[in-house]
């Protein structure tokens, strides 16, 4: 899943987040995936799941844009994980 505009060959960052089960990883993807990058162009974010691991990849033209996007993603990821913990294991 990709969002945002095409970013040039500038900066890149990758993050892999393991979850206890593939269902939880897919649930996180479903919660995080719909949020497009607020800025048009200059940043590209891709999310996918392999087994029980959520993978996030960014490419950006500028460090500031990359930092803001990653920070926002981590804030949302934290909320998703806290919500999952609050509701307990999925049956």
**For range 32-42, the mean pLDDT:** 71
Q: What residue ranges define each of the domains in the chain, with the CATH number in brackets? A: 2-87 (3.30.310.50)
* Element (DSSP H or E) covering residue 58: strand 53-60
Of 52, 51, 60, nearest to 14 by C-alpha is 60
Q: Is the pLDDT of residue 2 over 50?
A: no
Q: Is the pLDDT of residue 35 over 70?
A: no
How many Å apart are CA 90 and CA 71, to the nearest integer? 28
**For range 28-35, the mean pLDDT:** 86
How many Å apart are CA 73 and CA 55, to the nearest integer? 12
How many Å apart are CA 7 and CA 77, to the nearest integer? 23
Of 51, 57, 47, 44, nearest to 80 by C-alpha is 47
């Amino acid at each position: 899943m990709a969002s945002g505009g095409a970013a040039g060959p500038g900066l890149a960052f990758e993050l892999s987040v393991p979850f206890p089960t593939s269902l939880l990883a897919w649930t996180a993807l479903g919660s995080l995936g719909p949020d497009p990058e607020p800025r048009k162009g200059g940043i590209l974010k891709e999310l996918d799941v392999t087994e029980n691991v959520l993978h996030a990849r960014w490419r950006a033209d500028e460090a500031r844009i990359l930092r803001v996007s990653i920070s926002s993603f981590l804030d949302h990821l934290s909320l998703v994980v806290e919500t999952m913990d609050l509701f307990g294991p999925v049956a």
